[in-house]
Structure 1
Amino acid sequence: MRIGIIGYGNMGRAFALGLKDHYDIIVFDKDTSKKELALQDGIGFSNSIEFLLDSVDLIILSIKPQDLASLKELNFNGKSLVSMLAGTSVSRLKEHIKDAYITRIMPNLAVIYKKGVIGFYSEDAKKEVIKSMLEHLGKVYELEEKYFDAFTAIGGSGPAFVASIVEAMRLSGIYMGLNKDVSYDLAMATIEGTLELLKAYNEEELILKVSSPAGTTIEGIYNIEKTGLKGILMETFIRAYQKSKSL
């Protein structure tokens, strides 16, 4: 299967790099300076969006939502189209793209390392083929479209929020006298180990396993509860959800 990617920004490039070992990939970007980068990546670059549409079996759309109107006059020839445009529903896509079978996805940046999470909603008869393609990039969650804003907040924005927690751990280590490299490595190793522990225990069980009576951990847990940190974190995800709904 030959796949065409329209848009060679961060996510379009991540998809191209993640899929190129499995499929024939060609990309187009209106910014022709992206051609050199694509060729360096070993990805074919089309100088014409019309040529790309004519020569591929499936199209992945990775452009800014405000550029959607530029596609209105193009002929998609009844092909499968996968859109990753944030906050852009299938019904809105159909206002601009008349002759394609549309799948909507919401990936996160971890698809670069084939560890992504991808929200998936499809009206395409070939959706199982498309889903199989996406599984090369991470874990695919088939959802009703109404849940995409929630998925965006947790799966799409989540890496930035987790990175903020890692940064807080690193800065705390520096404050307590550790050098920045040790602090960062310790934070990362702790997160990685915790993810393994959470496969064996639920959150409450793990907290109780780590917390000794009158010990250091329960002192920190007390502060989490007293300051309402969990509520602050929930509010962070909820604000991202509300922003996604407003787009």
Structure 2
Amino acid sequence: MKTLCVLGAGTIGSFLVKAGLSQGYRVIATGRSERTLLRVKSLGVEATNDNAYAVRDSEIVLISVKPQHFPELATSIPRGLWKGKLVISVMAGVRLDTLRKVMVDAQVFRAMPNVNAVVNMSTTAITGEGPGRELVDSLFRSIGVTYWVNEDMMDVWTALVGSGPAFVSEIVDGLVLGAVSSGMPRDLAYSAVLDVLKGTAENLKNHKGHPVEVRDNVTTPAGTTIRGLKAMEERGVKAALIETVESSSRRASELGKLIDERIRRELLGDS
């Protein structure tokens, strides 16, 4: 039985612990606080605050710490321990090239799941090459769907998919409040909107065409839908959504560069 360790068993890290268990691995997880270690133990896996021990005893290493904590984590692990390991980073912004320079002779991948892993519906982007590709894909498919992308797409992915559940939740709340303002009880409106969201997503998947075609199927002359769409256009809703993703993507890129430069400076001595 192979051993998988999760360095940093926070929110996403806990999902990865469960993914490892579902794939039949022995799992070791690390945490910075006693509270995290107790929560990890409750999942039925070994918990420790010794990162070097966890890496030494594992074939597969998942790094799920906050990027700003990575220099501290990396310095706690002897460089030679990375040799021959399959390493998967879910840290935003830390580039493959940087990871490979820190983890000499390791096979390195990056992944970006999202919080929908809590219901096994994460949408995960993965980048990297090597013989461990199938194993990495299988691990993340156990918590949802996977997409293999070029690394230059990871910042946009972070904005669209990593932050996406927050954006969609905000839209859902706006629709619900509109129904409440029009006289519908909130609980009923909330349940109905979630059903509409789920049904529309399935409809769009099956349709396989442009989403405006589904929109136009609902829109009749002088009807309720066109009146609502007109209000959305007047308020610039679509433009706002475009800017939301663009702005979030720019920020992901900015943070990524800052984090990557700091790691290169502190760990690799780059000027």
TM-score under structure 2 length normalisation: 0.86
Are positions 1:233 and 2:241 aligned together? yes
Alpha-carbon contact 1:76-1:99 (below 8 Å) kept: yes
Give the corresponding residue for 2:189.
Answer: 183
1:222 alignment partner AA: K
Secondary structure (helix, strand or coil) at the match of 1:8 reads coil
User: Structure 1: 5+ residue runs without aligned partners?
Assistant: none
Deviation, 1:210, is 0.7
Distance 1:29 1:134, change over 3 A: same
Alpha-carbon contact 2:83-2:104 (below 8 Å) kept: no
Give the corresponding residue for 2:231.
Answer: 223
Alpha-carbon contact 2:19-2:140 (below 8 Å) kept: no
Are positions 1:124 and 2:120 aligned together? no
Deviation, 1:95, is 4.1
2:21 alignment partner AA: K
TM-score under structure 1 length normalisation: 0.94
Counterparts of 1:4-19 in structure 2 under 5 Å? 4-19=5-20
Alpha-carbon contact 1:69-1:96 (below 8 Å) kept: no
Counterparts of 1:94-109 in structure 2 under 5 Å? 94-109=100-115
Q: Distance in 2 between matches of 1:21 and 1:100?
A: 24
Alpha-carbon contact 1:18-1:113 (below 8 Å) kept: no
1:94-121 CA deviation, whole Å, 9 max, x = no partner? 3433342210111111122221111111
Q: Which piece of structure 1 moves more, 84-93 or 57-66?
A: 84-93
Choose from 38, 42, 50 the match for 1:40.
42
Give the corresponding residue for 2:57.
Answer: 55
Are positions 1:64 and 2:66 aligned together? yes
Give the corresponding residue for 2:259.
Answer: none
2:22 alignment partner AA: D
Q: Distance in 1 between matches of 2:235 and 2:177?
A: 19
Give the corresponding residue for 1:172.
Answer: 178
Alpha-carbon contact 1:18-1:111 (below 8 Å) kept: no
Alpha-carbon contact 2:28-2:54 (below 8 Å) kept: yes
Alpha-carbon contact 1:5-1:16 (below 8 Å) kept: yes
Secondary structure (helix, strand or coil) at the match of 2:146 reads strand
Counterparts of 1:124-163 in structure 2 under 5 Å? 124-163=130-169
Secondary structure (helix, strand or coil) at the match of 2:19 reads helix
Secondary structure (helix, strand or coil) at the match of 2:184 reads coil
Secondary structure (helix, strand or coil) at the match of 1:78 reads coil
Secondary structure (helix, strand or coil) at the match of 1:85 reads coil
Deviation, 1:53, is 1.1
